[in-house]
């Protein structure tokens, strides 16, 4: 490795460390963030495959956080696709704003529990969405809150559409089976902490 490459590698590592520390600080201030670090590239890649990202023209993302998943979605989704990302935390929302320069991207600051009215506002009609991807901690919602959100999620998807949720525990699995035709479960160990990836088909 020459000096130029080594300097580039060091500055990449420093930027990665700075981002991880900023993420950790946001987690310390807001337990709703639910993860101590952004998703690893292995979890991101597994989730994008579960989304069948190359064919997903209309996508909604619940809980974009620092935008690690969001950036990769924008990189791999169709050129004529549309993405609506939703984030509740003020710090993360502020940091995500730079991604709005991509004309395919809309960003909403608020609570996904209102997804029906948010989707309407951004012209994502009911029954017309290819994929909804979620990193929000479903375990933090009440039983009724979870059921209502999954009902709205399923109503937004087109027949054959997918809901992809990456979660630390399996508690969502039986509930998904009540709202979707079929559910596939995968596990990604190369993430802190390891995550399950559920793909639920409408």
Ligand X SMILES: C[S@@+](CC[C@H](N)C(=O)[O-])C[C@H]1O[C@@H](n2cnc3c(N)ncnc32)[C@H](O)[C@@H]1O
List interacting residues with ligand X (CB under 6 A): 32-35, 38-39, 63-66, 68-69, 86-89, 92, 111-113, 135-136
Which residue, 34 or 74, is less far from ligand X as judged by CB?
34
Which residue, 136 or 157, is less far from ligand X as judged by CB?
136
Which residue, 35 or 83, is less far from ligand X as judged by CB?
35
Cβ of residue 23: shortest distance to ligand X, in angstroms? 8
Which residue, 32 or 194, is less far from ligand X as judged by CB?
32
| Residue 98 CB contacts under 8 Å (≥ 6 apart), including other chains | none
Cβ of residue 8: shortest distance to ligand X, in angstroms? 24
Cβ of residue 191: shortest distance to ligand X, in angstroms? 9
Cβ of residue 7: shortest distance to ligand X, in angstroms? 27
Cβ of residue 87: shortest distance to ligand X, in angstroms? 5
| Pair 71, 38: CB distance under 8 Å | no
Q: Is the peptide bond before 193 cis (omega within 30 degrees of 0)?
A: yes
Residue 89 phi/psi, 5-degree rounding, is -75, 130
Which residue, 80 or 149, is less far from ligand X as judged by CB?
149
When CB distances to ligand X are compared, the closest residue is: 63
Which residue, 69 or 119, is less far from ligand X as judged by CB?
69
Cβ of residue 83: shortest distance to ligand X, in angstroms? 13
């Amino acid at each position: 490795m020459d000096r130029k490459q080594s300097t580039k590698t060091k500055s990449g590592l420093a930027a990665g460390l700075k981002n991880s520390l900023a993420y950790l600080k946001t987690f310390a201030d807001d337990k709703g963030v639910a993860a101590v670090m952004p998703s690893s590239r292995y979890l991101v890649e597994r989730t994008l495959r579960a989304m069948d990202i190359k064919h997903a023209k209309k996508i909604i993302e619940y809980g974009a956080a620092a935008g690690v998943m969001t950036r990769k979605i924008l990189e791999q989704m169709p050129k004529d696709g549309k993405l609506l990302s939703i984030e509740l935390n003020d710090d993360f929302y502020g940091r995500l704003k730079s991604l709005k320069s991509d004309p395919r991207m809309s960003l909403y600051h608020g609570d996904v529990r209102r997804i029906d009215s948010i989707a309407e506002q951004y012209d994502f009609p009911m029954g017309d969405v290819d994929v909804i991807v979620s990193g929000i901690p479903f375990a933090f919602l009440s039983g009724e809150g979870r059921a209502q959100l999954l009902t709205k999620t399923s109503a937004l998807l087109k027949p054959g559409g997918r809901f992809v949720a990456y979660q630390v525990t399996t508690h969502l699995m039986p509930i998904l089976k009540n709202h979707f035709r079929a559910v596939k479960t995968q596990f990604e160990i190369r993430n802190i902490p390891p995550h399950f990836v559920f793909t639920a088909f409408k």
